[in-house]
Structure 1
Amino acid sequence: MASPYEIRADYDARTIVVYQAYAPAIADAALRAGRFVEPFSFGRMTWIKPSFLWLMHRSNWARKSGQERVLAVRITREGWEEALSRAVPTTADPTAVARAAVHVQWDPERSARGAALNHYSIQVGIGRRLIRTFADEWVVGLTDLTPQVRKAAALLRSGQPAKARRLFPAERVYPLPPTLANLRTPS
């Protein structure tokens, strides 16, 4: 039986796509520069999510204030796995969590309509000590998905879920190296 704690993502041999939602000023500056630049905050944790639908739930399909723009952030698999290797579950001892360079938590995956599903989606918080490495070394591309997100949301609202699903990125189970297998179950 498959674990309910599998990472599902859009990935290829070299990279993985994670999603983030930002205010227009942050997204516009990043897209113009082709990388994260101010007003992106390099002084606080940034959360990355390989699940498109979980981010749609979190950002209310790019309608929440400060989350009106959805970016697909393509990062190296090496960087992704480096982050996971440094991760401490948010449910761990508070002292360990406070010292961790990366936080990880599992939340119920979401359907296109936002209903909680019976498997979980990973969220990875990149802390201040690694944020520059994430932005300058791991990120290899940024794509604005906002028009696609708005179109999919309109299709869902108009009762056309099959057409909306065609706009969702393809995600499949990400093959974790054996050294990271402990991430499949939260502490």
Structure 2
Amino acid sequence: MKEREIRAQFDNETVTVYQAYGHVIADRALTAGTFVAPFKPERMTWIKPSFLWMMYRSGWATKPQQERVLAIDITHEGLRWALENSCLSHYSHRVHESRESWRAQLSASPVRVQWDPERDLWLRPQPHRAIQIGLSPEASRHYVDEWIVRIRDVTPLAHEIHALAQAGDIPSANAKLPQERPCLPDSYSWNL
């Protein structure tokens, strides 16, 4: 496995990303099939293709206002647009010519990306990285209005996997995990 590789559950039409919210936003999104008020598209929103990283972030769907984990299936075109219009959220000499060029790219980019350690069933950091994709208001409007194909509540699945892991039934917990695999075809022109 490469250190930095986007892994996700996907099919020919969609890629699954995850977000965690409180009950009101989650219920309204599930009813509407997209995010509606009180979701605020004018704020930066982060999507995560890694189920286990979402479990780390939400504490297995137990943290306040993160009690509901949603699986959002978005179009490949939406993910492609996000990546092609992104900038690393921090300066990296491996990617940017200078801090000034990074700052210029950051201010012009509607999407931020960062690579954080992937997590295992015990939420321990792993040597490979999971991508987090931050959508600015411009990108968030595309996400809400164009990219979302369907939204599913995977909170019960999160609780079931966590209970299996806590009980020591690791084979069953692993079998329930979403099957994530490298999801960037050669047609994506992206190099962060």
Q: TM-score surpassing 0.5?
A: yes
Of 153, 156, 159, which aligns to 2:162?
A: 153
Query: Whole-Å Cα distance in 1 between the matches of residues 187 and 89 of structure 2?
Result: 21
Of 136, 142, 149, which aligns to 1:140?
A: 149
Offset, 1:95: 4.6
List gaps (5 residues or longer) in structure 2: 92-101
Partner of 1:180: 189
Q: What letter matches 1:139 in structure 2?
A: I
Query: Whole-Å Cα distance in 1 between the matches of residues 104 and 166 of structure 2?
Result: 44
* Identity fraction in percent: 44
Q: What letter matches 1:174 in structure 2?
A: C
Offset, 1:62: 0.3
Partner of 1:48: 47
Return the TM-score normalized by structure 1.
Answer: 0.92
RMSD, aligned α-carbons: 1.4
Query: Whole-Å Cα distance in 2 between the matches of residues 4 and 136 of structure 1?
Result: 33
The Cα offsets for residues 81-124 of structure 1, whole Å up to 9 and x where unpaired, read as 00000000011334532442000000111111111111111110
Query: Whole-Å Cα distance in 2 between the matches of residues 97 and 36 of structure 1?
Result: 26
Return the TM-score normalized by structure 2.
Answer: 0.90
In the alignment, is the contact (CA less than 8 A) between 2:70 and 2:154 conserved in 1?
Answer: yes
Query: Whole-Å Cα distance in 2 between the matches of residues 104 and 95 of structure 1?
Result: 15
Secondary structure at 1:72 match in 2: strand
Offset, 1:144: 0.3
Partner of 2:94: none
Query: Does residue 127 of the first structure (1) align with residue 136 of the second (2)?
Result: yes
Aligned residues: 182
Partner of 2:14: 15
Query: Whole-Å Cα distance in 1 between the matches of residues 186 and 81 of structure 2?
Result: 11
Secondary structure at 2:106 match in 1: helix
In the alignment, is the contact (CA less than 8 A) between 2:19 and 2:70 conserved in 1?
Answer: yes
Partner of 2:68: 69
Query: Whole-Å Cα distance in 1 between the matches of residues 190 and 34 of structure 2?
Result: 31
Q: What letter matches 1:86 in structure 2?
A: N
List gaps (5 residues or longer) in structure 1: none
In the alignment, is the contact (CA less than 8 A) between 2:74 and 2:148 conserved in 1?
Answer: yes
Query: Does residue 25 of the first structure (1) align with residue 24 of the second (2)?
Result: yes
The Cα offsets for residues 115-172 of structure 1, whole Å up to 9 and x where unpaired, read as 1111111110011112111111000000000111111111111211211122211111
Bigger shift: residues 71-80 or 129-138: 129-138
Partner of 1:104: 113
In the alignment, is the contact (CA less than 8 A) between 2:83 and 2:190 conserved in 1?
Answer: no
Q: What letter matches 2:131 in structure 1?
A: I
Query: Whole-Å Cα distance in 1 between the matches of residues 86 and 157 of structure 2?
Result: 31
